[in-house]
């Protein structure tokens, strides 16, 4: 809607109000509705400010000139049906001529009445004497001068008030222009943010689509790989065995359908390899006891390799290195005639064999058992003494980890874990303890080991008892 304003006097157009240089775009962003609401709220606020300031300016002019009238509304928002943009309709001023022709006949009529009244009283005026006429003329002149002065003062006051009002209106218009420019800047920034947000949303959607596509391809690849693997296992492990002539060897599944034969044979093979991993690779880990005339030590000493005989260390410059425990040479030399020395560890054979051969140059260690001779239980490799092929009443296990011999805890003699320090004397004390058992010819070593298992440091307790015995003698 347009604004029609009737002004007094001339046909000059009043100053134009500021207009917004840029339309505010109306876009729908499902992922960021808050930005659009902020943009719309800012535009409505600016429009309201322009409306209020325009009305204030027009009210000032009406107060100064009563014939100045405001008709209509300053402006309104309009949205076209063919576009999704919001267009702001800024107020405009239109001039209308003053209807002064209706007032002129009334003034002419009043002048005629006054003239008739003056003409009807000439005789009374003539009858006045000279002095009275002079006095009346002076009074009229004085009144006319007072009237002129009063009108001049009133005019000055009106002009002053009008100037102040115009200055105030100009200041208000300037503030409105500044608000409109700020609104334009905010609108442009909001548009840029919306565009960037839309681009980011498109990128996110593309990345999500790419991620889902990668997941689908990965799942399809995994399903294909699993299917191929199962097919290969069935074909490799499920086929029957053949003799030298190429004929199939009959087994317990030969009378079943072909698909069942392959499935059951493959299942048996998988169970066999599973047992091979979890259980020792053979039923007898050590050969049978030597018979006369060969010498067989009466006791068997099972020793852990890592942190009992050697300590592994790793550095960037040298890689893995194994440090020999102090007193190891004396330990092996003094016990080799009294005990059957066996290294039993969960390490791989490719690691243990060359190191033991380098440490034991005289071949004092009788046997070396590695990971394939252990039981894999609950994530730990456990020593299986039942398959050691020795009398357990004569077997002593030296280790720092109770979990490694948890099935035969009565045969375990626990010592401290060696961390690589050079002042360690544990093997020397252990040598004295084992020699004492051998000299006393203990029938069942498990009773002695059970007694010392109740102490935190059994070797220290043994040394105290030895000193007590020597002092008593």
Structural domains in the chain?
Answer: 4-211 (no CATH), 299-472 (3.40.50.1000)
Query: Per-residue confidence at 254, pLDDT binned at 50, 70, 90?
Result: confident
Q: How confident is the model at residue 102 (pLDDT cuts 50, 70, 90)?
A: low
31 has pLDDT over 50: no
**Contact assessment for residue 364 and residue 332, using Cβ atoms and an 8 Å cutoff:** yes
H-helix or E-strand spanning residue 171: helix 130-237
Average pLDDT over residues 301-321: 92
pLDDT confidence of residue 431:
96
DSSP one-letter string for 351-382: HHHHHHHHH-TT----EEE-GGGEEEETTEEE
Res. 239 pLDDT band, cuts 50 70 90: confident
Q: Which of 35-39, 206-210, 353-357 has the highest mean pLDDT?
A: 353-357
pLDDT of residue 57: 61
Instruction: Count the alpha carbons within 13 Å of 361 in the hemisphere toward its beta carbon.
Output: 2
Q: Could you say which DSSP state residue 105 is in?
A: H
349 has pLDDT over 70: yes
Model confidence pLDDT, tens digit, residues 413-443:
999 999 999 999 999 999 999 999 999 999 9
CA distance linking residue 194 with residue 387, whole number of Å: 76
Q: What percentage of residues in the chain have a pLDDT greater than 70?
A: 62
CA 179 to mean position of chain CA atoms: 41
pLDDT at 444: 95
Q: What is the pLDDT of residues 178-223, one digit of tens each?
A: 776 766 666 665 666 667 777 777 677 777 777 788 888 889 999 9
Between residues 164 and 398, the one the model is more confident about:
398
pTM as predicted: 0.51
**For residues 59-77, average pLDDT:** 48
- Interval 2-14: pLDDT, tens: 333 333 444 444 4
DSSP 421-465: -TT--HHHHHHHHHHHHHHHT-S-HHHHHHHHTTSSSHHHHHHHH
Q: How confident is the model at residue 107 (pLDDT cuts 50, 70, 90)?
A: low
CB distance 169 to 60 below 8 Å: yes
Spatial distance between the Cα atoms of 387 and 408, rounded to a whole number of angstroms: 12
């Amino acid at each position: 809607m347009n604004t029609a304003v009737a002004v007094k006097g001339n046909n000059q157009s009043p100053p134009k109000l500021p207009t917004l240089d840029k339309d505010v775009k109306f876009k729908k962003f499902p992922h960021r509705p808050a930005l659009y609401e902020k943009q719309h709220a800012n535009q409505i606020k600016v429009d309201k400010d322009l409306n209020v300031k325009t009305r204030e300016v027009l009210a000032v002019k009406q107060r100064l000139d009563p014939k100045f009238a405001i008709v209509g509304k300053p402006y309104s928002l309009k949205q076209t049906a063919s576009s999704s943009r919001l267009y702001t309709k800024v107020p405009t001023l239109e001039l209308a001529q003053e209807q002064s022709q209706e007032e002129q006949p009334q003034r002419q009529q009043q002048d005629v009445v006054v003239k008739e009244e003056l003409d009807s009283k000439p005789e009374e005026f003539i009858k006045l004497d000279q002095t009275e006429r002079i006095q009346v003329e002076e009074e009229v002149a004085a009144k006319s001068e007072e009237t002129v002065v009063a009108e001049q003062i009133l005019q000055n006051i009106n002009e002053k008030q009008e100037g102040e009002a115009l200055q105030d209106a100009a200041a208000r218009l300037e503030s409105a222009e500044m608000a409109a420019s700020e609104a334009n800047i905010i609108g442009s920034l909001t548009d840029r943010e919306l565009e960037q947000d839309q681009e980011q949303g498109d990128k996110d959607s593309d990345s999500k689509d790419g991620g889902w596509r990668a997941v689908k391809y990965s799942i399809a690849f995994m399903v294909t790989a699993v299917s191929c693997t199962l097919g290969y296992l069935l074909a490799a492990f499920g086929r029957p065995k053949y003799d030298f002539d190429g004929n199939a060897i009959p087994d317990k599944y030969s009378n079943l359908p072909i698909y069942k034969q392959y499935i059951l044979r493959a299942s048996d093979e998988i169970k066999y390899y599973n047992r091979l991993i979890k259980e020792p690779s053979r039923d007898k880990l050590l050969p049978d006891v030597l018979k006369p005339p060969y010498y067989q030590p009466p006791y068997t000493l099972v020793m852990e390799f890592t942190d009992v005989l050697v300590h592994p260390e790793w550095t960037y410059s040298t890689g893995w290195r194994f440090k020999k425990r102090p007193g190891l040479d004396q330990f092996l030399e003094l016990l080799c005639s009294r005990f059957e020395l066996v290294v039993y560890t969960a390490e791989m054979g490719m690691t243990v064999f060359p190191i033991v051969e380098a440490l034991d140059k005289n071949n004092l260690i009788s046997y070396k058992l590695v990971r394939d001779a252990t039981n894999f239980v609950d994530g730990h490799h456990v020593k299986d003494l039942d398959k050691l092929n020795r009398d357990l009443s004569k077997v002593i296990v030296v280790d720092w980890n109770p979990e490694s011999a948890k099935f035969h805890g009565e045969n375990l003699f626990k010592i401290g874990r060696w961390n690589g320090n050079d002042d360690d004397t544990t093997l020397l004390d252990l040598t004295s303890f084992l020699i004492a058992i051998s000299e006393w010819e203990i029938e069942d070593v498990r009773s002695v080991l059970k007694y010392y298992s109740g102490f935190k440091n059994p070797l220290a307790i043994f040394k105290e008892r030895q000193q007590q015995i020597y002092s008593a003698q």
